[in-house]
Structure 1
Amino acid sequence: MRHICIFSAMILLSTPLLAAEADYFTRREDAPEVSAMLDKKMNEELNAAAGKVKNCSVEALRTELIKSMGGFGIAQIESWLDDNKEAKATGIKFKKSIYQGTMAEAPMAALACCAPLATYKGRVFSADKLGHFLHTGFEMYVVANDRPFLDEKRAPEAPPTDFSFSANKALIEQDAKTWKLKTRGQGATAVLEASQYQENNLWGKMGTGVYSYADIAANYEGYRFWSDLTSGDNPYFVCEHSRWKQARKFSWDEYISDAWDESINCNEYVSSKMKMTVMAASGEVLRKKGWPAKSCPIEPQKCRALVKRYPGALKDVIGPRCQELGLQEPTAAGSNDEGSKSAGGAR
């Protein structure tokens, strides 16, 4: 009975609670370029958040950013891209996606598919990765530093905590408590362990049947962002005259890479049957489109750059097939090193 109740609850709440999945094959060529508007949006939100904080409270700054762009299940930054009429992110229905034959193996996939696609300077990503970056990335920052949700005493000037923010706070704190992490407080190592936990449980294999290395890559990059918000060698904000001042512009170029693309950084699945079903469907799409590649990764030359980007987190952030190709000699795997700036050192 308990399992029936849980399953029923998942059905009712699946849209806000389950991680979204995306089809990176069927309509990837239609994904619009959104780099300028995405950078603009992020910098506007950063400026707005700082403007609402009347002192240099780190807690208040984080609070404003989570309230304006975060959100449990579907972050507000995801919804902004999905609903943006100018961006026109590319969506697809489950019945026309590569997941259409997976109902028997992972019925939740039908409810979570499919997040729309866009491109940032030619790199394809799905809207859910923005939520992984901003909201889940903050969860990762929490467990990496073994801190409560907001670790400073609330200042009188801090914004009031509304219901939606309280709910997000409670859920993040609950996640941080229930994850059985051996490496809590150990920086990037804890981020990777927590991400694996998510992908192996309700947010991944136990939910939609998909273990997404691309999700982990977005989580990891989000952790990097939150780590640099007000500290580190090159923070986004510095305190001047008791107010936050933005010290440098934000650019998604620093964080979005081909590691966010599930047709390059290949997924794993809950069963061999689901894997074969998805591979057959995506392979048929590639055949019809005339792609040289017959399966994921569809641009294997890009794997070399990803191997260079994540030297300290390679086995956790990059899927096995892309790892294998990326570690081959350039003559075998290609020599495209675009986006290879390292992001893999433990912090």
Structure 2
Amino acid sequence: MKALIAVLALSTTAFLYAAEVDHFSQPELDTLTDSRNALNAEVAQRIDRALVRANRNEPHLKPRKVQRVPVRSRCNVDRLYDSFRVLLARPLVGQVESYAEQSPDIERLSTLFQDSVYHEFTWPHSPSLVLSERVASVVRVGDDYVGTDKFGHFFTEGYSYFEETEQMHGSLKNALLFGEWTESVYFGAETTGVYSFADLVANFQGLRFWNRILSEHPDPLTESPLAPYVLCENERWVIGDAFDWLDYVDPAWNESVNCSMLRTEALLGKVMTSRPECRAEALPWERYGALAPMLFNQKGLSVLPAYLQPEAILALRHPELMTEPRIRLFKDIRERLERWRIRRDVRREARSRKTEKP
């Protein structure tokens, strides 16, 4: 059990800055000013800066250690993607996410943790959310309302999807399973208690963005070629098509439409005390077609089913490794961790009652 707690602690520490969004406690969303133009401009200037960086021919740029920076940089594809990552895909809290959360040019509605639908969560069950108390603000993009955390998912996890598909040379299924894995473990259910389908949609739309930088492969949603954002002209990268959030954002980014699932019945009960209403009828099924079942929550606010538990997803990602004994082991570890969480809550409540006695 000590090993389980250590794993939980490491996950919590690494993703302490991850946020959930509460679309249910925002009664005045229709009063928000559309931030599309400001958000488009922020992305556009970052793309411009990424091209400046990618076009440099300097071998000593002091990049992050994880990057590969070749000496010859003109129209070098690896350096182009590295430059985009530096300017748009910061880990944990992305640059555009921070901009949307902090810029005076963006109108947003914010909810304090203690006023949110998650206010009854305790740290053993939702460590990263309770300890950070980070509830993402909501902004308007066109006619849709989006949590600022989704911009981080779009760029950073979108790039992870791009890598999981081997930059679209491989299977889209690999990326979708990777997203389900992260939501079931360290970005969602095991650390916040919340499995967000809206996060999965933002991740997938981010994959579309990274693919469209050079548009060397058909768009994974429309299955058609799209105009690239970047072109190589005279051995230099130049702007091609303009970026626009309306190409990506839709009602499936909204967690009161594409509602989340909760890790346990107890967490679901805590959320339901706020009487949230899930408007699943607004989901854009036609747009996503055959991809919709993996990206949409068809059951509304509910408990995470067995097929979305970590061991089930891992068995699909690595069927050659996940034998039946290993699947049972992973399930046993998860269930033991849940029992530990319950015991911690029981002790906490007992201490609280003892303190309250006259």
Alignment-mate amino acid for residue 70 of structure 1: A
Could you tell me which residue of structure 2 aligns to residue 39 of structure 1?
40
Could you tell me which residue of structure 1 aligns to residue 297 of structure 2?
319
Post-superposition Cα deviations, 1:150-202, rounded to whole Å, max 9, x if no partner, equal xxxxxxxxxxxxxxxxxxxxxxxxxxxxxxxxxxx643211211111111111
Could you tell me which residue of structure 2 aligns to residue 292 of structure 1?
none
Q: Is the 8 A contact 1:14 1:112 kept in 2?
A: no
- Once residues 249 and 186 of structure 2 are traced to their aligned partners in structure 1, the CA distance between those partners, rounded to angstroms, is 25
Structure 1 residues 9 and 145 mapped into 2: Cα distance closer, same or farther (>3 Å)?
Answer: closer
Q: Is the 8 A contact 2:49 2:87 kept in 1?
A: no
From 60, 72, 90, give the equivalent of 2:79: 60
Could you tell me which residue of structure 2 aligns to residue 136 of structure 1?
157
Question: Helix, strand or coil: the match of 1:265?
Answer: coil
Query: Number of matched residues?
Result: 268
Q: Which runs of 5+ in 1 are unaligned?
A: 148-184, 284-294, 323-347
From 219, 228, 244, give the equivalent of 1:235: 228
- Once residues 121 and 254 of structure 1 are traced to their aligned partners in structure 2, the CA distance between those partners, rounded to angstroms, is 11
Q: Is the 8 A contact 1:144 1:186 kept in 2?
A: yes
Q: Which runs of 5+ in 2 are unaligned?
A: 56-73, 217-224, 301-358
**Is 1:109 the counterpart of 2:129 in the alignment?**
yes
From 99, 118, 141, give the equivalent of 2:118: 99
Alignment of 1:50-199 (within 5 A): 50-54=51-55, 55-103=74-122, 105-110=125-130, 111=132, 113-145=134-166, 186-199=170-183
CA-CA distance at 1:244 after TM superposition: 1.1
Could you tell me which residue of structure 2 aligns to residue 281 of structure 1?
274
Question: Helix, strand or coil: the match of 2:37?
Answer: helix
Question: Helix, strand or coil: the match of 1:194?
Answer: helix
Could you tell me which residue of structure 1 aligns to residue 282 of structure 2?
302
Could you tell me which residue of structure 2 aligns to residue 267 of structure 1?
260
Structure 1 residues 112 and 206 mapped into 2: Cα distance closer, same or farther (>3 Å)?
Answer: farther
**Is 1:20 the counterpart of 2:19 in the alignment?**
yes
Question: Helix, strand or coil: the match of 1:244?
Answer: strand
Q: Is the 8 A contact 1:92 1:114 kept in 2?
A: yes
Q: Following superposition, which runs of at least 4 residues in structure 1 exceed 3 angstroms of deviation?
A: 3-14
Question: Helix, strand or coil: the match of 2:204?
Answer: helix
Alignment-mate amino acid for residue 38 of structure 1: L
Q: Is the 8 A contact 1:26 1:282 kept in 2?
A: no
Question: Helix, strand or coil: the match of 1:145?
Answer: coil
- Once residues 204 and 235 of structure 2 are traced to their aligned partners in structure 1, the CA distance between those partners, rounded to angstroms, is 31
Structure 1 residues 14 and 224 mapped into 2: Cα distance closer, same or farther (>3 Å)?
Answer: closer
Q: Is the 8 A contact 2:252 2:296 kept in 1?
A: yes
Could you tell me which residue of structure 1 aligns to residue 317 of structure 2?
none
Structure 1 residues 223 and 112 mapped into 2: Cα distance closer, same or farther (>3 Å)?
Answer: farther
Q: Aligned residues: percent identity?
A: 24
From 240, 244, 250, give the equivalent of 2:243: 250
Structure 1 residues 143 and 8 mapped into 2: Cα distance closer, same or farther (>3 Å)?
Answer: closer
Please identify the structure whose Cα radius of gyration is greater: 2
